[in-house]
């Protein structure tokens, strides 16, 4: 039953443009070229900084990705788009982001979108983004320390899925993101087993700064989703709530590119030393919390069971805490009893 509901939720989650807005063709030299479906002209003409990639996922689908280089870039953005667009519609946006943010940018089409093979599903989107990240590592030498993950709407699902697995990631951007699939349709307090894209659980595992961007008038994914994710983030960055912004028009507001540029710039200036210090602070807090809940502190004082043992630090009889900081003061009755025993022993020895 749960799988059936999950499949129904997936049908409401994915709306790939039909027909696709672009096609992929291979030139005589073997290089892939993206061609507009309307004009039959290449999307980018003789652009050496633009690569069209065909990547095979672990679920044996071949997905298409666009990689845009910026010669001045220090960071790379991995962009996961929404549920009703493909790369042909997003190319112009990618060019603007590459130039304004001074980053390399890679965007990809999910399985079943654009010229990618297969059918879209939650599991496939996870396999898709993992394959793109592996391509960045092997083909372009980009590590997670120099990577920012960007997820828009449904794209927040695969984005947080990958971010939860990369502890040294530079940053995450959540654009009109969702708490979970079912929470878009109805308000529920608990995560159901049949739910998809359980971002509400995965956001807690992300160990890097998280920027949340959301429109206050979003009628598709309510602003409460973005606010909820921002509150749950372990390292939340100053959010951007665009007043009057909807679900698909936030890029048109000047504050969007201004705030996003500031976030990317701060991520660039974040040195390795700063990030290591934050990691150490987190580890120290975890160690302290573990020490405070140790068994020694939870052991309660017990009266010795055997009369021949008069030592309160006897583990066999009293289970007395070993660390001095954790030892509670002796109860009054026990102090009186111990004094009487001590006096009796002295009288016996006289």
The residues carrying an active-site annotation are 153, 218, 247
What's the CA gap between 313 and 336, in Å, rounded? 17
Residue pair 170/75 in contact by the 8 Å Cβ criterion: yes
User: CA 118, 123, 127, 132: dihedral to nearest 10 degrees?
Assistant: 80
Name the helix (H) or strand (E) containing 201. Answer: helix 199-202
What's the CA gap between 302 and 304, in Å, rounded? 6
Ramachandran angles phi, psi of 253, nearest 5°: -90, 135
Burial 29-53 (b: 16+ CB within 10 A, else e): eeeebbbeeeeeebbbeeeeebbbb
User: Order of strands, edge to edge, in the sheet holding 104-108?
Assistant: 50-56, 62-68, 104-108, 76-80, 147-152, 171-175, 210-215, 240-242
Ramachandran angles phi, psi of 163, nearest 5°: -60, -35
Distances (CA, A) of 217 to 146, 212, 223, 255, 259: 33, 15, 7, 16, 19
Residue pair 150/77 in contact by the 8 Å Cβ criterion: yes
Instruction: Give the CB-side neighbour count of residue 17, counting CA atoms within 13 A.
Output: 18
What's the CA gap between 281 and 234, in Å, rounded? 13
Residue pair 20/115 in contact by the 8 Å Cβ criterion: yes
Residue 98 CB neighbour total at 10 angstroms: 19
């Amino acid at each position: 039953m749960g799988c059936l509901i999950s499949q129904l939720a997936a049908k409401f989650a994915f709306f790939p443009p039909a027909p696709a807005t672009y096609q992929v063709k291979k030139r005589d030299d073997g290089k892939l070229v993206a061609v507009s479906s309307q004009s039959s002209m290449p999307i980018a003409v003789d652009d050496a900084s633009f690569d069209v990639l065909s990547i095979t996922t672990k679920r044996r689908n071949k997905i298409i990705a666009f990689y845009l280089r910026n010669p001045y870039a220090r960071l790379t953005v991995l962009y996961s788009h929404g549920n009703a667009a493909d790369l042909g519609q997003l190319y112009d946006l990618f060019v603007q982001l590459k130039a304004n943010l001074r980053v390399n940018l890679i965007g990809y089409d999910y399985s079943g979108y654009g010229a990618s093979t297969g059918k879209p599903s939650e599991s496939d989107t996870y396999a898709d983004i993992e394959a793109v990240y592996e391509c960045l590592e092997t083909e372009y030498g980009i590590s997670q320390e120099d990577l920012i993950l960007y997820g828009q709407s449904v794209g927040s699902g695969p984005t947080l899925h990958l971010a939860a697995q990369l502890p040294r990631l530079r940053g995450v951007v959540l654009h009109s993101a969702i708490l979970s699939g079912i929470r878009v349709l109805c308000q529920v307090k608990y995560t159901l087993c049949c739910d998809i894209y359980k971002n509400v659980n995965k956001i807690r595992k992300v160990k890097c700064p998280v920027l949340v961007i959301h429109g206050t008038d979003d009628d598709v994914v309510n602003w409460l989703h973005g606010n909820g994710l921002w509150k749950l983030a372990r390292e939340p960055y100053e959010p951007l709530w665009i007043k009057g912004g909807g679900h698909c028009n936030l890029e048109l507001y000047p504050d969007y590119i201004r705030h996003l540029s500031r976030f990317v710039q701060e991520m660039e200036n974040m040195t390795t030393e700063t990030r290591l210090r934050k990691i150490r602070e987190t580890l120290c807090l975890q160690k302290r919390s573990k020490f405070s809940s140790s068994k020694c502190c939870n052991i309660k004082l017990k009266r010795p069971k055997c009369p021949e043992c008069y030592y309160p630090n006897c583990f066999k009889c009293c289970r007395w805490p070993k660390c001095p900081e954790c030892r509670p003061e002796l109860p009054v009755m026990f102090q009186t009893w111990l004094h009487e025993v001590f006096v009796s022993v002295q009288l016996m020895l006289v």
